[in-house]
């Protein structure tokens, strides 16, 4: 009764059982969804969102057309999924702007990140979902700012975050307009630094 046909002992063979089918399906689904998100990010860098079709996204992702609809009802729904991830990254860059002494360096890092993904952030901050993006950025920024408990100044924390995030959002949206695209990163960072300074000056 020693070894089975594969040459493994019964004990080893039992421990080498494949993962449940549901786990494999979940893993495949996660890979497909990640591929779709990466595909949209790649495509939106090459052409406007309104010109991108679901078939193009599926082809770029290397998945079947029908697979797209197992994950997202529309390309706009996929964009919302991508936006949730991207806005998390933006919040990670925004919160240091709210509470760090070296705010200018934090503002510069924020502007560089947005510029590196300019086409995507133009769609996110100036498209039809801009209002929802602003609200989500504000909500997450408030949560993170409260957790980090930055130094208090003359403004209540929640109001200070609201004013700061609004300034950041509106300045970035202005910068991403086609007519202002030539404004240098350093110039935008300097404007933001000066705009935010009164909000973070203790009194």
What does the pLDDT profile of the chain (203 residues) look like in tens digits?
Answer: 444 544 444 444 444 555 566 677 777 888 888 999 889 888 887 887 788 999 999 999 999 999 999 999 998 888 878 877 787 887 788 777 766 557 778 888 889 999 988 888 887 788 766 777 788 788 877 777 766 655 456 778 788 888 888 898 999 999 999 899 899 999 999 999 888 877 766 55
Q: Which two tokens stand for residue 200?
A: 């973070």
* End-to-end Cα separation, the chain, in angstroms: 83
Per the CB < 8 A criterion, the answer to whether 45 and 120 are in contact is yes
The answer to whether residues 200 and 98 touch, using CB atoms and an 8 Å cutoff, is yes
CA distances from 155 to 8, 15, 16, 67, 147 (A): 69, 61, 61, 50, 17
In angstroms, the CA 93 to CA 105 distance is 11
Output the pTM of the full model.
0.65
pLDDT value for 124: 79
Which residues of the chain form CATH 1.10.357? 77-200
Q: What is the pLDDT of residue 123?
A: 79
Predicted pLDDT of residue 5: 46
- SS3 of 3, please? strand
The DSSP symbol for 102 reads -
CATH number of 10-72: 1.10.10.60
Name the segment(s) of the chain with CATH classification 1.10.10.60: 10-72
Q: Say whether domain 77-200 belongs to CATH 1.10.357.
A: yes
């Amino acid at each position: 009764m020693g070894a089975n046909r594969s040459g493994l002992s019964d004990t080893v063979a039992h421990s080498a059982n494949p993962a449940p089918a549901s786990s494999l399906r979940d893993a495949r689904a996660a890979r497909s969804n990640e591929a779709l998100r990466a595909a949209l990010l790649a495509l939106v860098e090459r052409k406007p969102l309104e010109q991108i079709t679901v078939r193009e996204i599926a082809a770029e992702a290397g998945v079947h057309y029908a697979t797209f609809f197992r994950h997202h009802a529309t390309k706009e729904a996929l964009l919302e999924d991508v936006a949730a991830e991207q806005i998390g990254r933006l919040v990670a860059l925004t919160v240091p702007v709210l509470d760090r002494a070296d705010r200018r360096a934090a503002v510069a890092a924020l502007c560089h990140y947005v510029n590196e993904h300019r086409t995507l952030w133009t769609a996110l901050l100036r498209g039809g979902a801009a209002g929802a993006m602003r609200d989500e950025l504000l909500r997450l920024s408030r949560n993170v700012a409260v957790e980090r408990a930055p130094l208090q100044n003359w403004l209540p924390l929640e109001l200070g975050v609201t004013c700061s995030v609004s300034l950041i959002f509106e300045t970035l949206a202005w910068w991403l307009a086609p007519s202002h695209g030539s404004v240098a990163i350093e110039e935008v960072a300097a404007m933001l630094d000066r705009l935010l300074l009164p909000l973070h000056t203790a009194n």
